[in-house]
């Protein structure tokens, strides 16, 4: 048997035996020749079905504060540093969020993530978010996640007390690439918040954006870093170059490079939800079907923070067309 095919089989068997892959093994998987990508994809899908079954986790987002953020992340249309012409609004009312969460639940969403465009919440803003969470819990009854930027340990514990299941905070990119993407905070700042959330007893959702001009080695670096955190959920965004941002002319990644990320993440994290997030409809001609058969087992549906997306109905149909369950 070909050495590369044997490597894939050996690594898959190690996952089934609950043994961790070495960094060298991960490096070899991540850099296999394109002609073996189908073998890698099939193995990742086999791992997914054994550990995750056929159910696809479908999530909706609520951009509860869409405003000019103080951070200079070069990919972001909500940064105050760039003129992107987006609409903006302050913190949504509890009534608005409850209505949106109800609609999401009725459409089939399993979880609802509250996202705010700021570096970190002020004391008053955090109190308002807590009130929103209480209202959604009482009136909707959907699993709530939050993405509120940097947190103190006291804030993280409060979210846990309110029944928030998971805290979403992306690494964004590899540590070596990060200074090119953001200068107003550091990679370690982001790691610190993830550690605070974990200390408070919250589940973790983390990931990044690929296609920002990083090298394959840097994508592998990001994947390895995510694997070491053992998050309950991983979110992988595919860059959508937004007019007015420094990355507006960035060329997209090939499907082959995207597939490597999802497949190898599955080898590292067989028990985690691995979600195709922003940029799915823009970058993938099949809306994610192939990736859902290559390691992914979750999607974000019905739009993103500043971009529209497929309807829940269309995404549910897409999932069912590949014999999986929404």
Residues 6 or more apart from 259 whose CB is under 8 A from it?
37, 40, 41, 290, 291, 294
pTM: 0.94
Residues 6 or more apart from 276 whose CB is under 8 A from it?
236, 238, 262, 284, 288, 291, 292, 296, 298, 299, 300
Per-residue pLDDT of the chain (326 residues; tens, 9 = 90+): 689 999 999 999 999 999 999 999 999 999 999 999 999 999 999 999 999 999 999 988 878 876 678 899 999 988 888 888 777 767 889 999 999 999 889 988 888 899 888 899 999 999 999 999 999 999 999 999 999 999 999 999 999 999 999 999 999 999 999 999 999 999 999 999 999 999 999 999 999 999 999 999 999 999 999 999 999 999 999 999 999 999 999 999 999 999 999 999 999 999 999 999 988 988 999 989 999 999 999 998 876 655 666 788 899 999 999 999 98
Q: Are 191 and 169 within 8 A, CB to CB?
A: no
Extract long-range pairs of 194-197: CB within 8 Å, 24+ residues apart: 194/167, 194/169, 194/229, 196/151, 196/152, 196/153, 196/156, 197/151, 197/156, 197/167, 197/169
Q: Are 211 and 283 within 8 A, CB to CB?
A: yes
CA dist 104 to 142, 146, 311, Å?
Answer: 9, 16, 11
- In order of their start, the domains of the chain are 20-321 (3.20.20.70)
Q: How far is residue 306's CA from residue 96's CA, in Å, rounded to a whole number?
A: 17
């Amino acid at each position: 048997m070909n050495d590369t095919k044997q490597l894939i089989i050996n690594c898959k068997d190690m996952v089934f035996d609950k043994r961790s892959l070495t960094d060298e093994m991960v490096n070899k998987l991540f850099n296999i020749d394109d002609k073996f990508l189908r073998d890698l994809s099939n193995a990742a899908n086999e791992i997914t079905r054994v550990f995750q079954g056929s159910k696809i986790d479908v999530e909706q987002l609520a951009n509860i504060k869409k405003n000019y953020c103080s951070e200079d992340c070069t990919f972001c249309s909500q940064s105050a540093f760039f003129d992107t012409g987006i609409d903006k609004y302050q913190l949504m009312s509890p009534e608005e969020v409850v209505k949106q969460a109800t609609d999401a639940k009725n459409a089939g969403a399993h979880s609802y993530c509250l996202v705010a465009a700021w570096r970190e919440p002020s004391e008053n803003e955090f109190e308002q978010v807590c009130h929103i969470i209480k209202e959604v819990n009482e009136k909707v009854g959907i699993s709530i996640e939050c993405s509120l930027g940097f947190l103190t340990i006291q804030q993280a514990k409060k979210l846990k007390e309110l029944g928030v299941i998971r805290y979403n905070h992306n690494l964004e990119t590899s540590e070596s690439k990060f200074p090119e993407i953001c200068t107003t905070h550091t990679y370690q700042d982001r790691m610190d918040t993830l550690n605070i959330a974990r200390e408070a007893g919250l589940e973790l959702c983390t990931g990044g954006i690929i296609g920002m001009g990083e090298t394959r080695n840097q994508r592998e670096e990001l994947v390895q870093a995510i694997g070491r955190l053992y998050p309950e959920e991983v979110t992988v965004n595919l860059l959508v170059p937004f007019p007015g941002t420094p990355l507006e002319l960035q060329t997209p990644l090939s499907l082959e490079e995207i597939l490597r990320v999802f497949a190898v993440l599955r080898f590292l994290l067989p028990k985690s939800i691995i979600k195709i997030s922003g940029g799915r409809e823009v970058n993938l001609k099949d809306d994610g079907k192939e990736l859902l058969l290559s390691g992914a087992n979750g999607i974000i549906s019905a739009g993103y923070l500043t971009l529209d997306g497929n309807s829940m109905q269309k995404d549910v149909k897409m999932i069912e067309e590949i014999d999986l369950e929404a």
